Amino acid sequence: MNLRIYAKVFDIGLQNTFVYRWNFFLRSLFGLVPLAGSILIWRSIFASRGSDVAGYNYQAMVWYFLLVVLVDNLITPTEDEWQIAADIRDGQMNSFLTKPFNYLAYRLSLYASYRLLYTLFTLTPLAILVWCFRSYVALPASPLTWALAILSLLMAGLIQFFVAYALAMLAFWILEISTIIFILYSFEYFLSGQIFPLDIMPHWIQSTLHVLPFAYELFFPISIFLGKATGPALWSGLAIQTAWLFVAWMTARTLFHRGVRHYQAVGG
């Protein structure tokens, strides 16, 4: 694999993204609106209860949602599946298949460049929010916690990318994939921890979520950083997350190769 090719793709992705820098800035800025809504809702909940919720006090809940916004901006693909599906649907895949590089690695390089700039545009307004709620911030003291949280974060980003890539591969067989994407992302949004921490759910539901991939796309790396995933639960969670990363990668590769055969068979 010629890494210089993908480094150049990464650079092109940065340049293309800068063309739409105001779009990225406004999207990242208004992406903080749900955070404000979550903080207001949970403030009302804690005020009415007058007690903690499943081990979270109001300060811990605010810190959790600040981390949700940060992690979401760091790793969540932005329109990658639509762009890949467009390459297939519009016939652009023909030119990629004749080039001497791996299409999956090509898209992964673009994903990395998009996430880097999107995160940079989000850091300023997010830093202001963190400063406003600085008394709620509780950073982990252990270097091992930092290392494992970063490792889990990287795996979460790759899982999300491979899932988006695999969904886009359905465009080889289905003309319109938006409904499938909407259904899957609805489950992901609800079950990944974006609306509420998953560990406030009843234990029997948590046991089910523990083996599904959604928790490992967002909630699990945050729970490591917060020090809530420890001991055997930490190591078993990392093992399950690694397994889901492998499954997502294999699914993405398999769908691509089968899709290309189908694409060529029908004269794409």
Q: How confident is the model at residue 21 (pLDDT cuts 50, 70, 90)?
A: low
- The helix/strand/coil state of 72 is helix
Q: What percent of the chain has pLDDT over 90?
A: 35
Distances (CA, A) of 193 to 28, 54, 82, 190: 19, 14, 24, 7
Average pLDDT over residues 82-103: 84
Q: Please write the tens of the pLDDT for every residue from 167-196.
A: 999 999 988 888 898 898 889 988 999 988
> In whole numbers, what is the pLDDT of the chain averaged over residues?
85
Q: What percent of the chain has pLDDT over 70?
A: 90
Residue found by looking up tokens 């639509």 in the block: 82
Q: Please write the tens of the pLDDT for every residue from 191-210.
A: 999 988 999 888 888 889 99
CA distance 133 to 59: 9
DSSP assignment, residue 181? H
Yes or no: say if 26 and 122 are a contact pair by the CB < 8 Å rule: no
pLDDT at 264: 63
Yes or no: say if 227 and 199 are a contact pair by the CB < 8 Å rule: no
- Of 23, 30, 117, 12, give the one whose Cα is nearest residue 69: 30
- The helix/strand/coil state of 172 is helix
Comparing 6 with 70, the larger pLDDT belongs to 70
Q: Please write the tens of the pLDDT for every residue from 153-170.
A: 999 999 999 999 999 999
Average pLDDT over residues 250-262: 92
Question: 141 burial class (0-12, 13-18, 19+ CB within 10 angstroms)?
Answer: exposed
DSSP assignment, residue 215? G
Average pLDDT over residues 13-31: 64
Entry pTM: 0.89
Does residue 228 surpass a pLDDT of 80?
yes
- Of 208, 197, 265, give the one whose Cα is nearest residue 240: 208
CA distance 168 to 164: 6
